[in-house]
Amino acid sequence: MLTLCLAWPAARADLLDTLGERAQRLADSPWQAPPTLEASALKALDYDAHRQIRFRPERALWREVSDFQVQFLHAGFLFAQPLRVYEWVDGQRRPIHFHPDLFRYDDDAAQLDPEQRAAGGFSGLRLHYPLNREDVRDEFLVFQGASYFRLVGRGQRYGLSARGLALDTTRLGSEEFPAFTELHLQRPEPEDRHVNLFALLEGPSVTGAYAFRVHTTEPVTVDVQARLFARHDLTGLGIAPLTSMYTHGDLADPITADFRPRVHDSEGLLVHTRAGEWIWRPLSRPEAPRISAFLDVGPSAFGLMQRTRGFAAYLDQEARYDLRPGLWVEPVEGDWGAGRVVLLELPTPDETHDNIVAFWAPDKPMAAGESREFSYRLTPLWQRPSAHELARVVRTRAGAAGVPGQGDPVRLDQRRFVVDFQGGPLSRLDGSLPVRAHLDLHQGQPVEPPQVTPLPDGGWRATFVVAASPESPADMRLQLRLHDQLLTETWQYLWRGPEDA
């Protein structure tokens, strides 16, 4: 397991302690829902009208004192719970008050009258820094909605989101969404290349105090320290949750006719186990909710990844899915205990809905009155983590098991899988070497054993046929080896037979 060490300044520790004490007092008290917007006109704004309320850049916090700038987001539309924001300077707290003069109300939003505007509030904030050019402060981190936040590195565009906490996510229809109700900002020094933010989390079943140390060096990272306090017994705890979208790509056809060959913010879950195994689980869009779990004695690292790059793979000039990062989670210090990385895949009507969730679920429930602390690092990645030196899966395809031109009827309970690996040790092998596929099949039935061949443009392909049914799904694990040498990460997938066809 990679152990990271964080050097938090004393001022940060004091503020986290203060918020932690408040969170503990709140957990010992009955739940009181935070207030929501009083102006119904703000709640009634649709997506487009809400976007037309724009913060005035010349009013940005720290504009004259730092390379960092903070701009605020207006409450309304789905974001009806105003957020309290504070700035800390030299150990002193200063509230940042909402005022409509901080914003422009353009187009459809211009219909709001002065009284309605004055009844608004902040729904979140975004952090700017000159990541890509010295003369442009790029937006690279945004907090908005419940405990959601998004992060990008240099040259990247927003895609998947992180959350402070997931709770009962796999209990569909019963998920609880605790929210950040306060954000605290420490003013950076002029020469600082990092900035500290803090948050108070509140929910019916849990409270928490969070510290976020944001580094703008290469790569951009966010170190997260979370202190949680249970109001009630918690069995559905999700630590370091990631939320993403997958509608179609290698293993799912478009929902409707679509000129784009791929539409997804992430295409696979990558898990690095405590034992050192690298597992790649390609994403799909199921017809019914699907939950997968990857058991471990403690997490080494995991993330939802976007591996396929290049505009031609997506053909989307607006969304630019080719520029969206993966997000890698590395636990820092302490023992998270036994548990599992959980992957939830949901049906979705279109690409505007997030339908993929991944998080760490501890085996040990959290009892009412108990507190726990978790620390981890988040890194937005273009490709794989630097510690991953094995060949990786670059393509997974599946189709009918039969051979074109043969007269045998199509067997819906049989499926041919084609898995392409590239890089790592494979890049140094001659095509004549006896590379073999090791396929472990739990349930289901093998029909054709795996065949391995080198690819014309580099890499190696494994292809095989399995049979499965809803009663006996094929749970598959595949690796390529040369004699006893492991060459690749582990490809893992579950096929349920005709219902997944």
Look at residue 304 in the predicted model and tell me its pLDDT. 98
State the amino acid at position 380 in one-letter form: P
Q: How far apart are alpha carbons 22 and 207 in whole angstroms?
A: 9
Strand partners, 357: 243, 344
DSSP codes of every residue in 384-429: S-TT--SBEEEEEEEE-SS-TT--SPP-TTEEEEEEEEESGGGGG-
Query: Going by DSSP bridges, is the β-strand pair 166-167/237-244 parallel, antiparallel, or unpaired?
Result: antiparallel
Locate 201 and state its tokens.
Answer: 């989390």
Q: Would the pTM of this model clear 0.85, i.e. be above it?
A: yes
| Ramachandran angles phi, psi of 245, nearest 5° | -140, 135
User: Are 320 and 21 a contacting pair, CB within 8 Å?
Assistant: no
Q: Which domains are delineated in the chain? A: 392-500 (2.60.40.10)
Look at residue 12 in the predicted model and tell me its pLDDT. 58
Look at residue 3 in the predicted model and tell me its pLDDT. 45
The label of the residue with tokens 């998270």 reads 336
Q: Which of 463, 434, 470, 461 is nearest to 446 (CA)?
A: 463
Query: Going by DSSP bridges, is the β-strand pair 460-467/435-442 parallel, antiparallel, or unpaired?
Result: unpaired
Locate 68 and state its tokens.
Answer: 């960092």
Look at residue 334 in the predicted model and tell me its pLDDT. 67
Query: Going by DSSP bridges, is the β-strand pair 356-362/278-282 parallel, antiparallel, or unpaired?
Result: unpaired
Look at residue 407 in the predicted model and tell me its pLDDT. 65
Question: What are the per-10-residue average pLDDT scores of the chain (501 residues)?
Answer: 48 83 96 90 94 97 96 96 95 95 96 95 97 94 97 97 97 94 96 96 98 96 97 95 97 95 98 96 95 93 97 98 98 86 97 97 96 96 94 95 74 94 94 94 93 94 95 95 96 90 61
Query: Going by DSSP bridges, is the β-strand pair 490-495/278-282 parallel, antiparallel, or unpaired?
Result: parallel
Look at residue 8 in the predicted model and tell me its pLDDT. 47
Look at residue 4 in the predicted model and tell me its pLDDT. 54
Look at residue 450 in the predicted model and tell me its pLDDT. 95
Q: How far apart are alpha carbons 457 and 470 in whole angstroms?
A: 37
CA-to-CA separations, 308 to 125, 279, 314, 389, 483, in angstroms, rounded: 30, 17, 9, 18, 30
The separation between CA 14 and the C-alpha centre of its own chain, rounded to angstroms, equals 29
